[in-house]
């Protein structure tokens, strides 16, 4: 609203010119999202408790998790709802990257909502089948990828950290690559979301990094100074990143240990998909492997554990994903969480530093 309704009034009221600036709308989006998510979060938790819509906890997990049964989940409704609410005020909806990012986020939000609804509200513990989830995720990602390339929003070239210019032109294979990045990110965040605040921490640091990269990539002079690919109108994604950070901080107010609410698949799948498509739009998919390093390690730990068990009948970790391994080694849950946050902050800062190392 600020951009579309108030900025045009700057002809008569010069002060309204400020609504044009991405930096101003970024700050406002962060403020709105933080305040709105803290208020809505409390209302949501009270509602879910009254309805007794709580988490079902599997018996085969760490014993320390059994006491978590009944914790309200699907808190992702508050996170994503807050992001869209903040974007209503602060977004520039003429930006195709913004529309595509919100579209992918919404599609994964609906997928996660249906999955959680079946598991939590209908007590059907399986939810949507793994195949069905993957089909929905890939269909969304491939459609978004095809549209972005067909419309010339992004090119099909691959860029790497520390290297000036593209390393490869993937042609239409890039659409498949986009699918792997977006679906991989969504599922990696989903796997990471297994301890109080463990996922939302790296989501906040990743959104911050990608938001800064988007601002730089959308600014011709900065992009050429840093030798990063210029993508028109991409700077507007920093407003979404600020909304994610604000909604994430507000969610963490309740999800911090001991959690009063979990985000559910409705939150993890959609936020992971959002980070993935923003990494694609900012041409920083490989850099995102560093930024989202915690998500990568969590997913890799599962792949290695399953492969090892299937081939050698032996486990590499006490339990996968790797956060459970540290829990079973005797690390208290808060210590695992905060140490993973510290690593995420370091990875985010390092990724930003690499922009200058080309």
CA 156 to each of CA 71, 143, 153, 264, 330: distance values in angstroms, whole numbers, following the listed order? 44, 15, 10, 34, 46
- Other C-beta atoms closer than 10 Å to the C-beta of 74 total 26
How big is the CA angle at 234 (ends 78 and 184), to the nearest 5 degrees?
A: 60
Is residue 73 close enough to count as binding ligand 57M by CB under 6 A? yes
Residue 17, phi then psi, degrees to nearest 5? -60, -20
Q: Whole-number minimum distance, CB 127 to ligand 57M, in Å?
A: 10
User: Binding marks (x or -) toward ligand 57M, 305..344, rule CB under 6 A?
Assistant: xx--x-----x---xxx--x--------------------
Closer to ligand 57M by Cβ: residue 85 or 262: 262
> Half-sphere exposure (CA, 13 Å, Cβ side) for 72?
21
155 CB contacts (<8 Å, ≥6 apart)?
A: 149, 166, 169, 229
Q: Is 17 annotated as a binding residue?
A: no
Q: Whole-number minimum distance, CB 344 to ligand 57M, in Å?
A: 15
Q: Is 190 annotated as a binding residue?
A: yes
306 CB contacts (<8 Å, ≥6 apart)?
A: 320
Closest CA to 98 of 238, 230, 247, 271: 238
Is residue 57 close enough to count as binding ligand 57M by CB under 6 A? yes
Is residue 302 close enough to count as binding ligand 57M by CB under 6 A? yes
Q: Which of 196, 236, 285, 327 lies at the binding interface for ligand 57M (CB under 6 A)?
A: 196
Q: Give the N- to C-terminal CA distance of the chain in Å, as an integer.
A: 39
Q: CB under 6 A: which stretch of 3-11, 16-24, 263-271, 289-297 binds ligand 57M?
A: 263-271
Q: Whole-number minimum distance, CB 315 to ligand 57M, in Å?
A: 5
Q: Whole-number minimum distance, CB 242 to ligand 57M, in Å?
A: 23
Is residue 188 close enough to count as binding ligand 57M by CB under 6 A? no
Residue 249 burial by CB count (10 A; 0-12/13-18/19+): exposed, middle or buried? Answer: middle
| Binding residue numbers for Mg(2+) | 190, 265
Q: Give contact residues for ligand 57M (rule: CB under 6 A).
A: 55, 57-58, 60-61, 65, 68, 73, 190-191, 193-196, 255, 259, 262-265, 268, 302, 305-306, 309, 315, 319-321, 324
| Binding residue numbers | 190, 265
């Amino acid at each position: 609203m600020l951009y579309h309704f108030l900025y045009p009034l700057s002809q008569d009221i010069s002060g309204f010119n400020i609504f044009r600036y991405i930096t101003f709308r970024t700050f406002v989006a962060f403020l709105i999202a933080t305040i709105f998510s803290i208020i809505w979060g409390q209302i949501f938790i009270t509602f879910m408790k009254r309805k007794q819509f709580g988490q079902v906890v599997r018996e085969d997990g760490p014993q320390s998790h059994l006491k978590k049964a009944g914790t309200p989940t699907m808190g992702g409704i508050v996170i994503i709802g807050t992001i869209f609410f903040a974007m209503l005020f602060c977004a520039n909806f003429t930006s195709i990257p913004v529309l595509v990012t919100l579209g992918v986020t919404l599609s994964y939000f609906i997928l996660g909502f249906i999955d959680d609804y079946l598991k939590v509200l209908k007590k059907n513990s399986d939810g949507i089948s793994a195949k069905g989830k993957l089909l929905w995720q890939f269909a969304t990602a491939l459609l978004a990828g095809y549209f972005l390339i067909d419309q010339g929003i992004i090119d099909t070239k691959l860029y790497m950290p520390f290297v000036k210019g593209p390393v490869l032109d993937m042609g239409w294979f890039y659409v498949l690559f986009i699918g792997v990045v977006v679906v991989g990110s969504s599922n990696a965040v989903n796997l990471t979301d297994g301890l109080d605040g463990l996922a939302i921490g790296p989501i906040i640091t990743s959104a911050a990094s990608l938001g800064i990269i988007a601002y730089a990539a959308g600014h011709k002079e900065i992009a050429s100074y840093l030798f990063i690919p210029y993508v028109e109108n991409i700077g507007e994604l920093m407003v979404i990143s600020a909304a994610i950070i604000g909604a994430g901080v507000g969610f963490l107010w309740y999800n911090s240990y001991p959690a009063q609410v979990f985000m559910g698949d409705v939150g993890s799948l959609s936020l992971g998909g959002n980070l993935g498509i923003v990494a694609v739009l900012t041409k920083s998919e490989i850099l995102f492997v560093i930024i989202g390093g915690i998500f990568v390690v969590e997913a890799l730990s599962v792949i290695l554990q399953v492969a090892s068990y299937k081939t050698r009948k032996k486990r590499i970790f006490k339990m996968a994903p790797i956060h459970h391994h540290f829990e079973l080694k005797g690390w208290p849950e808060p210590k695992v969480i905060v140490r993973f946050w510290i690593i995420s902050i370091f990875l985010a800062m390092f990724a930003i530093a690499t922009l200058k190392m080309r």
